[in-house]
Amino acid sequence: NAGVMQNPRHLVRRRGQEARLRCSPMKGHSHVYWYRQLPEEGLKFMVYLQKENIIDESGMPKERFSAEFPKEGPSILRIQQVVRGDSAAYFCASSAGRGATSSISTDTQYFGPGTRLTVL
């Protein structure tokens, strides 16, 4: 399966714990995006990364949230000291980015199945 992979699919944490969400982009994709979907709300952009670089983090909360996309391995969204308001579905998407040979525009983002985070 060459689709976007996310794990875990469900994550339960108690207040104050750390949550680590992982995303492996689609094969051949080098651009990763994280979005958050709060209950009864739409998807909101959080951060856009390329390998080893954060390109746009304008949607990230200023504290407790961080993201990385190392040279090797998946992208990680890390939430420290979780609070109940962090409970949401976190989706990762990937795109081909610049230099792609695909006929589909590099703007097309393909989504993973999401991680549903529940903070008790």
Residues that bind another protein (CB under 8 A): 4, 31, 33, 35, 41-45, 48, 55-56, 58-59, 91, 93, 95, 98, 104-114
Q: What is the nearest approach in angstroms of another protein to the Cβ of residue 43?
A: 4
Contact 95, 107 (CB under 8 A): yes
Q: Which is nearer to another protein, 83 or 104 (CB)?
A: 104
Q: What is the nearest approach in angstroms of another protein to the Cβ of residue 93?
A: 8
Vertex 61 angle, CA 56 and 65, to 5°:
90
Q: Which is nearer to another protein, 17 or 66 (CB)?
A: 66
Q: Which is nearer to another protein, 17 or 43 (CB)?
A: 43
Q: What is the nearest approach in angstroms of another protein to the Cβ of residue 53?
A: 10
Q: What is the nearest approach in angstroms of another protein to the Cβ of residue 95?
A: 6
- CB burial of residue 59 (10 Å; 0-12, 13-18, 19+): middle
Q: Is 63 helix (H, G, I), strand (E, B) or coil?
A: coil
Q: Which is nearer to another protein, 22 or 110 (CB)?
A: 110
Sheet holding 75-79, edge to edge: 5-7, 19-24, 75-79, 65-68
Length of the chain: 120
